[in-house]
Amino acid sequence: MTTLYRQLHKSATHKQGNDPACPVCQRHVKMGNLLSELGARQLSSVDGPIGSTLSFYLLPNGITFILQWYAEDAGFEMYGPLAHSNRVEDTFFALSQLAAQVAA
């Protein structure tokens, strides 16, 4: 199914970026809408690996996260802090807790 989505997304009749029939576009639109609803502020963007863009965001509560937008609208990944502490032990503990979780 992913191949069909990619074919639609790259077709000549595709309305790039906001085609309501394209799941790839709608995923990006939904993320953009959510960022707006949450009041996330983009701090900066830098070029990432393999043609991607790393965008740094700040939420109103002070939490930061990074969205890596892949080239050609191939998707995105989100990265956030494991712990809100300056102690490395807290980070190690948070990573251990994350590893112990059962996948849903």
| CB-CB neighbours of 30 under 10 Å | 10
Query: pLDDT tens-digit profile of 41-77?
Result: 999 999 999 899 999 999 999 889 999 988 877 788 9
pTM summary value:
0.71
Q: Which residue, among 3, 30, 26, 31, has the nearest Cα to 16 in the 3D structure?
A: 26
Query: pLDDT tens-digit profile of 10-31?
Result: 555 555 556 666 777 777 778 8
Total domains, the chain: 1
Numbers of helices and strands, H then E, in the chain: 3, 4
Structural domain boundaries enclosing 56: 2-100
